[in-house]
Chain A
Amino acid sequence: MGTQFLSALLYVSAAIFVIGMGCRIYFWVCAPVPLKIVLTPAPKHIPGVIRRLTEEVFGFRALAKADRSLWIPAWLFHFSLVLLFLGHLGGLVIPHLAQTALGLNENQFEGMAQVVGGAVGLLAFVMLFWLLIRRLILPRVRWISTFSDYFAPVLLLLILATGNAMRFMGGLNIAQAQSFIAGWLALHPVAPPSDPVFTAHILLVCVLLIYIPFSKLVHIGGVGALSPTLNQRNNPREHRYVNSWNKANENSPTSS
Chain B
Amino acid sequence: MKIPQLHPDAAVGTLPHRAKNDLMVSLGLAPELPPDWRAKALRRFDELLHQRRSLALYMDICVRCGACADKCPFFLGTGDPKNMPVARAELLRKVYRRHFTAAGRASGHLAAGEELTDTVLNEWFTYFYQCSECRRCAEFCPFGVDTAEITMAAREIMASIGLAPKYVTEVLKKAHEVGNNIGIPEAAWIDGCQFLEEELKAQTGQDIKVPVNQAGAEVLLVPPSADLFVNTDTMMGYALMFHAAGISWTTSSYASEAGNFGLFLNYEQLKKINLRIVDAARQLGVKRLVMGECGHAWRAAQAFMDTLNGPLDFLEPPCPEHICELAARLLRAGRLKLNRSANDGLVVTYHDPCNLARGGGLMEEPREILRAVVNDFREMPADTIREKTFCCGAGAGLLTEELMATRMNGVKPRLEAFRTSGATHLATPCAICKAQFPVAFKHYAINAQVVGVMDLLGKALVL
Q: Which of B44, B54, B67, B311 contacts A62 (CB 8 A)?
A: B67
- Is the beta-carbon distance between B139 and A62 smaller than 8 angstroms? yes
Chain A residues, Cβ within 8 Å of B141: 62, 66
- Is the beta-carbon distance between B102 and A74 smaller than 8 angstroms? no
Chain B residues, Cβ within 8 Å of A80: none
Is A2 engaged at the interface, CB distance under 8 Å to the other chain? no
- Which B residues, 63 to 83, have Cβ-Cβ distances below 8 Å to chain A? 63-71, 81
Residue with the greatest number of chain B CB neighbours at <10 A, chosen from A37, A42, A216, A226: A37
Return the 6 tightest CB-CB contacts between A and B, nearest first: A40-B361, A66-B140, A224-B143, A31-B53, A146-B112, A229-B144
Q: Given the complex of chains A and B, what is the CA–CA distance between A67 and B141 in angstroms? A: 10
Q: Given the complex of chains A and B, what is the CA–CA distance between A31 and B54 in angstroms? A: 9
Residue with the greatest number of chain A CB neighbours at <10 A, chosen from B44, B61, B359: B61
Chain B residues, Cβ within 8 Å of A149: 63-64
Q: Which residue of A lies closest to B63 (CB)?
A: A216
Is B272 engaged at the interface, CB distance under 8 Å to the other chain? yes
Please encode chain A, from 54 to 67, with 1 for each CB lying within 8 Å of some chain B CB and 0 for all others: 00100010110111
Q: Which of A27, A41, A224, A248 contacts B144 (CB 8 A)?
A: A224
Please encode chain A, from 69 to 110, with 1 for each CB lying within 8 Å of some chain B CB and 0 for all others: 010001000000000000000000000000000000000000
Nearest-neighbour CB distance to chain A for B337, whole angstroms, equals 29
Known: A31-B50, A240-B310. A224 touches B142 (CB 8 A): yes
Q: Which of A216, A229, A255 contacts B62 (CB 8 A)?
A: A216
Nearest-neighbour CB distance to chain B for A214, whole angstroms, equals 5
- Is the beta-carbon distance between A32 and B52 smaller than 8 angstroms? yes
Chain A residues, Cβ within 8 Å of B360: 40
Q: Which residues of B contact A (CB under 8 A)?
A: 3, 5-6, 44, 49-54, 56-58, 60-71, 81, 84, 86-87, 90, 101-103, 110-112, 135, 138-146, 149, 156, 160, 266-268, 271-272, 275, 302-304, 306-311, 317-320, 357-361, 363, 386-388
Nearest-neighbour CB distance to chain B for A170, whole angstroms, equals 35
Chain A residues, Cβ within 8 Å of B69: 140-141, 144
Please encode chain A, from 14 to 31, with 1 for each CB lying within 8 Å of some chain B CB and 0 for all others: 000000000010011001
Q: Given the complex of chains A and B, what is the CA–CA distance between A230 and B139 in angstroms? A: 10
Nearest-neighbour CB distance to chain B for A238, whole angstroms, equals 8
Chain A residues, Cβ within 8 Å of B358: 39-40
Nearest-neighbour CB distance to chain B for A173, whole angstroms, equals 37
Q: Which residue of B lies closest to A229 (CB)?
A: B144
- Is the beta-carbon distance between B60 and A24 smaller than 8 angstroms? yes
> Can you spell out 21 A-B residue pairs with CB atoms less than 8 angstroms apart?
A33-B53, A33-B54, A39-B135, A39-B358, A63-B140, A66-B67, A66-B142, A140-B81, A143-B84, A144-B86, A146-B112, A147-B111, A148-B112, A216-B61, A216-B64, A223-B57, A223-B143, A236-B303, A237-B317, A243-B307, A256-B44
A-B contacts besides A36-B307, A143-B84, A256-B44, 9 pairs, CB < 8 Å: A31-B57, A38-B303, A62-B142, A67-B66, A74-B65, A143-B81, A144-B81, A229-B149, A237-B317
Q: Given the complex of chains A and B, what is the CA–CA distance between A143 and B52 in angstroms? A: 29
Nearest-neighbour CB distance to chain A for B360, whole angstroms, equals 6
Chain A residues, Cβ within 8 Å of B65: 63, 70, 74, 141
